[in-house]
Structure 1
Amino acid sequence: MIQQIMVAPAKIDFKEVPVPKVEAGQVLMEMKRVGVCGSDIHVYHGKHPYVSYPLTQGHEVSGKVVALGEGVTGLEVGQKATIEPQVVCNECYPCAHGKYNLCENLKVMGFQTVGSASEYYAVDAAKVTPLPESMSYDEGAMIEPVAVTVHACKRVGDLTGKKVAVLGAGPIGILLAQALKAFGAAEVMITDISTPRLEIAKACGVDHVVNTREKDFGTAVVECFGKDKADFIYDCAGNDITMGQAIQNARKGSVIVLVAVFAGMANVDLAKLNDSELDLYTSMMYRHEDYVDAIRLVEEGKILLKPLMSKHFPFKDYQAAYKYIDDNYETTMKVLIDVDSEA
C-alpha cells in the first residue's frame, strides 16, 4: 500500500509499505478522506512545537471497515467510520476520572504517532466511531473538527436562549457558531477581518457577521445583542487582539472561552479580567460523546459542512494541497485529500 511521509518541513514523499496486520482488538480501515487542518499546516511549515520528522499525517479522516481483529464487537465489515485520533495512557488522573482528552501523556495520530494518511490503517477498535450510511466520506472526515466545537459548547453548560459572540471565522469558528445554535443559543455573532470568510459564515446561517476591520467589536456587540452584551464570548482566533477584544468588551461577570491555540505567550489585560470578575474557560479537543453528538447534529442538518469544503486533491497531490492553502489562505476553509478518489 502507499503511505504519505512528510520527511521534512514542506517536503512530502510516498512509500510502499505492507498492509498492516490487524492485531486482536484492532480494526483495519480502508482510508477514503483526510482533512487538512491548521495544525497540519504548522507541521508543513516546520512551526509545530510538538512533532519530529519524518511523520505520517492524518487525523481528520473517514474510511471503511474492511477487517476486524480477534475480540472486536460492535463494528461490522463494510461500515463507514471515522477515527478518534487521541492516544492516551488510561492511567493518569485525568484519564482515571473520564477526562482522557486531558491525558498527561496525550499523543495525537499524525503528530506524535503515525497518522492515517495511507491506503489502509490498523487502529484500536475503541477509537473507531461508525458513521451513518447516509453520511458521505467528505462529511465523515469533518466530524473531528465538529467534535472540537461540540466539546467547546458543553464547557459552558446550558446555552438555551443565550447570546454568544464568536471571534474568528475560520473553520472552527464557523462550525462553533452553528453548534451553538444547535445547542439552543438564541443569537450568535461571528467576527473576522476577512470578508470572504464572513460570507461563508453567512451561508451557514450565522445570525450576525461583523468585519472588525470595519467596525469596533464593542460597538458591534451592543448593536447585535443590546446593552447587556453577550452571555458568552468564544475566542477561535487565539491572539492578543481577539482576546483583548473579549476581555475589554465582555459583560461583567460573564464567561470567555478560549478554543484557539495561542501561537505564543499571551499579552492581555488580566487586571481588567479580574476587575470584571470574568471567568476564563478553555476547551481541549473532545471525548467520545462529543463525536456521537457531532455525527447526530450533522445528520440532523443542524451543522452544514458543504459550504466549508473548499477543494479536493488526489492522494499523490498532497504537497499541491498545501501550496493551494498557502496561495488561497483567506478563501480556503477545508481542503480534503482523496485517498480513494472513487469513494
Structure 2
Amino acid sequence: MNDGVKNMKMRQAVMTEPGNILFRKVDVPQVGDRQIKINIKNIGVCGSDIHVNHGKHPYTSYPVVQGHEISAEVTEVGKDVEGIQPGDKVTIQPQVVCGKCFPCLNGMYHVCEELKVMGFQTTGMASDYFVVDADKATILPESLDHEEGAMVEPLAVAVHAVRRVPSVEGLNVLVIGGGPIGNLVGQAAKAFGAANVVVSELSETRLKVAEQCGLGTINSKDEDLSEGILRHFGDRKADIIFECVGSNFTVAQSIEVARKGSTVVIVGVVSDLTEVNMGFVQDHELTVLGSAMYQSDDFDGAVHLLNAGKINLKSLITDRVPFENYAEAYSIIDHEKDRVMKVIIAMDPETI
C-alpha cells in the first residue's frame, strides 16, 4: 500500500558531534516486502541518549541519528506483512541482531554478540518517517495516547528486569533510584504482586512522583538507607533489591544493605568499573543478577499491564519539547536533573 509520500522529503535530526544537532531534509525511505513505514509522533529521551550527547557513550560514534523510545502511526506496509495495517498505533523494539550467535540461537537475542541499537550503533528514529522490519513493531491499544506510547519501551525495560527473578509475588522489593526506569520497575513489581515496594531516592520531585504512583519512599538524603529499610520492611528487610542508578556508590550500596539470602538485580547502566564487597556476596549468599534491555514478550507484557490499568505513565512526564528544539531536551535534563523525570519530544508542536 502506498501512503502518498514517495519522493518526498522529511525532517531528520543528526547529532554530528557531542552536543551538536543538525536538522536536515532527507528522502522519505521506501518500504520493503516485510517492512512497515511509520510516521513518528513522539520520542522519549533516556539516560543513554544523554551519554551520547556528552560524548561518553562507549559504543556510539558520530554522526548519529538518535531516537529509540517512540510512538508512531503506520502509514504503509510491505506486501508480505500480515497483522499490521495502516493507521495502527505502534512502538518499535530497537535492537538489530545477527541471528547467528549463541545468544540469538538460544532465546537471548537481546544480548546478541553483535547487538546494535537504533539511535546508538545504527540509525535511530528521530525523523518524520522511519522504515523498519514489521516484526519489530508492537501494536499499541487505542486507549494509550502517543506520549504514553513513547514510554512503552522503558516500561519494557522494567518488565524485563522484574522478570529476571522467578517471582516477586508477596515479597518486599526495594528499588534504588527513582528516575523513570526505577519508578517503572517499582510499578511493574507492584503490578506483578509484590507485597511492599519502596523507592530510595535523593530528589524530592522523584520521591513525590513515586508516591503518586503508589510506591513507598525513602529520602536517602535525609535518612540512612538501612534505617529506611527497617522502617518499611522490619527485620525481614528487602527480599529483592533493584539497583536502577548505575553509579559505583549505589551498586556497592545495594550489596551492603542486602539481607542474607536475598537477590540484587543490577538494572542501571554502569559505565565505570565498580568495587563491590564480594565478601558480602559470598558470606551472605546473595544472588546478583544483571538485566539488559528486553525481548518482544516484555513489550507485550508492558502493554498487558497498561491495558489492565496497573501502570501510571502520565505522572512521569515532566517536560515536552518540539522536535525543532531537540537539543533543548538535553539541556533541560542537564540543568534540572533533580526536577526532571521524562522529557517527551513532539514531532508536531501543536500536540504539546
Per the normalisation by structure 1, the TM-score is: 0.98
- What is residue 266 of structure 1 aligned with on the other side? 274
Determine if the alignment matches structure 1 residue 238 to structure 2 residue 259: no
Establish whether residue 279 from structure 1 lines up as the match of residue 287 from structure 2: yes
**1:7, 1:59 → 2: CA distance?**
17
Q: Does the alignment pair 1:96 with 2:105?
A: yes
1:145 maps to amino acid: P
Say whether residues 1:256 and 2:258 are aligned partners: no
CA distance in 1 between counterparts of 2:306 and 2:328 reads: 29
Pick which of 14-23 and 332-341 moved more: 332-341
Match for residue 16 of structure 2? Answer: 7
Relative to structure 2, which stretch is displaced further, 263-272 or 79-88? Answer: 263-272
Matched, 1:336 2:325: no
SS of equivalent residue, structure 1 residue 35: strand
Q: Determine the C-alpha separation between the residues in 1 that align with 2:78 and 2:227.
A: 58
Question: After the TM superposition, which residues 150-229 of structure 1 pair with which residues of structure 2 at under 5 Å, given as runs?
Answer: 150-206=159-215, 208-229=216-237
Residue 299 (structure 2) pairs with residue 291 (structure 1): yes
* Native 8 Å contact 2:157 2:293 kept in 1: yes
> Does residue 255 of structure 2 align to residue 247 of structure 1?
yes
Q: Which letter does structure 1 place at the counterpart of 2:204?
A: T
Give how far 1:98 is off. 1.2
**2:75 aligned with 1:66:** yes
Q: Structure 1: where are the runs of 5+ without partners?
A: none
Query: Does residue 145 in structure 1 map to residue 154 in structure 2?
Result: yes
Alignment of 1:301-320 (within 5 A): 301-320=309-328
Aligned to 1:113: 122
- Corresponding residue for residue 45 of structure 1: 54
Does the aligned pair in 1 maintain the 2:265–2:291 contact within 8 Å? yes
Given that residues 248 and 272 in structure 2 are in contact (C-alpha distance below 8 angstroms), is that contact kept between their aligned partners in structure 1? no
Distance (whole Å) between structure 2 residues aligned to residue 240 and residue 111 of structure 1: 24
Hey, what's the Cα distance between the residues in 2 that align with 1:73 and 1:87? 21
Could you tell me whether the CA contact under 8 Å between 1:39 and 1:48 is conserved in 2? Answer: yes
1:197, distance to aligned residue in structure 2 (A): 1.2
For residues 135 and 253 of structure 1, the distance between their equivalents in structure 2, rounded to whole angstroms, comes to 40
Could you say what secondary structure the match of 2:325 adopts? Answer: helix
CA deviation vs aligned residue, 1:72-109 (integer Å, no higher than 9, x gap): 11101111000000001111111111111111110000
Q: Secondary structure at the match of 1:17?
A: strand
- Secondary structure class of the residue paired with 1:331: coil
> Once superposed, which parts of structure 1, at least 4 consecutive aligned residues long, lie more than 3 Å away?
none
Corresponding letter in the other structure for 1:331: R
Shift of residue 245 of structure 1? 2.2
Q: Deviations over 1:139-179 (max 9, x none)?
A: 11000000000001111112110001000011100111100
1:285-324: CA deviation from partner (whole Å, max 9, x where unpaired):
0000000110121222211011110111111110122112
Shift of 1:27: 0.2
The answer (yes or no) to whether the contact 1:297–1:303 under 8 Å persists in 2 is yes
TM-fit CA distance, 1:342 = 4.5
Q: Distance in 2 between matches of 1:171 and 1:125?
A: 28
Q: Are 2:252 and 2:274, in contact at CA under 8 Å, matched by a contact in 1? A: no
Does the 8 Å contact 1:28/1:123 carry over to 2?
Answer: yes
Q: Confirm whether residue 24 of structure 1 aligns to residue 33 of structure 2.
A: yes
Segments of 5+ residues of structure 2 without an aligned counterpart are 1-9
**1:128 — aligned with what?**
137
Q: How many residues align?
A: 342
- TM-score between both structures, scaled by the size of structure 2: 0.95
Query: Cα offset for 1:243?
Result: 2.2
Deviation at 1:341, TM superposition (A): 3.3
Deviations 1:249-269 (A, max 9, x none): 211111110000112000121
Instruction: Determine whether 1:83 maps to 2:92.
Output: yes
